[in-house]
Amino acid sequence: MDQVELFKALANKTRLQILTWLKDPEFYFPDYQSACGIDDIGVCVGHIQKKSGLTQSTISAYLSLLHRVGLVSATRVGQWTYYKRNETAIAKLGQLISSTL
Amino acid sequence: MDQVELFKALANKTRLQILTWLKDPEFYFPDYQSACGIDDIGVCVGHIQKKSGLTQSTISAYLSLLHRVGLVSATRVGQWTYYKRNETAIAKLGQLISSTL
DNA sequence: TTGGTATATCGAGAAAAGTCGATATATATT
DNA sequence: AATATATATCGACTTTTCTCGATATACCAA
C-alpha cells in the first residue's frame, strides 16, 4: 500500500463522491438495480457515470484508479463491470492514518 | 476542513515525511535544538529544509501549505518560524476518514 | 456474423503541482 | 544605518493530473 498513491486517489472531489455513493447504492442509485440480479455486487460504470456528469472515459479511468489502489473491487458480469467498496482496505486506511500519521 | 485539499496536502512524499519527522523532533533532528530555548515549540524551517534535501523555497511553501490546511501550527520567534504538528487536527482527520470515508 | 450496448484505452489540450533560482521581507546585530 | 541570517514570495520550467472525444475491445442478441 503506497500511502502517497492512496492519498492521490482520494485527492479528487469526484472520486471521493464515488466512494460515498458506493457506501449506500440503494440510496444514491434508487432508479437502478443490478442487471444480473445479484445483490451487493456493486454498481456498474454506466450508473456512476450518469450520476457524476463526467464522461464515460473519465469515470472508467477513475474507477480503474480506485481499483488499482485497492479502494474498490471490480466484478465483470457479462458486459457490465460492477464496482464495490473494499471495506477492509478502507478500514485499514483509517487505522493507518490514525496510527502512523 | 476541505477533504480534497487535505488529501492533496498528504499526497506528497516529502510532506508526509515532514509530518513524520515532526512527530519526534528529538529523534529526527538530534543535532538541533530550538534557538529560543522554548521546548515543544516545533522545528524551524531551516532544519526541515536541510533534512529534506529540497530547496528552501520549496520547503517554505510546503510548510505554508500544511499550515493552510491546518495540519501544522506555526510560531514565529524572532527570525525563525517553528512548525509543529497539530495533533488535534490530525486526530480529527483519522476519525473523519474512519467515519465518513 | 452482424449490429448493439457496456466498458476500456488512446491521444490531446488545459490546468495544477513540483521544483528551482532569484528576490523580497522580517528580524537581529553591530 | 548597514550587514547578516531566516523565511517568504515570485517567476519560470517541467511533470503530473484532469478531462475530453475518438476508437478499440468485450460481450450479448438476433
Nucleotides of C under 7 A from a protein CB: 4-11, 17-23, 26-28
* C-beta separation of B41 from B21 below 8 A: no
Nucleotide C26's nearest residue (CA vs C1') is: B79
State CA B94 to chain mean position distance: 17
- pLDDT averaged over chain A? 91
CATH code assigned at A19: 1.10.10.10
The Å distance, CA of A38 to C1' of C16, is 41
Number of domains present in the structure of chain A: 1
Share the mean pLDDT of chain B. Answer: 91
Distance from CA of B83 to the nearest CA of A (A): 16
Residue B32 has pLDDT above 80, yes or no: no
Q: Which of A83, A71, A79 has the alpha carbon at shortest distance from A41?
A: A83
Instruction: State the residue range of the domain holding A26.
Output: 3-100
* Cα B83 from Cα B45, distance rounded (Å): 7
Phi, psi of B38, deg, nearest 5: -80, 130
Phi and psi angles of residue A72, each rounded to the nearest 5 degrees, phi first = -135, 160
Question: Nine-digit cell at A85?
Answer: 467498496
pLDDT in tens, A59-101: 999 999 999 999 999 999 999 999 999 999 999 888 888 888 8
Backbone angles phi, psi at A4, to 5 degrees: -60, -45
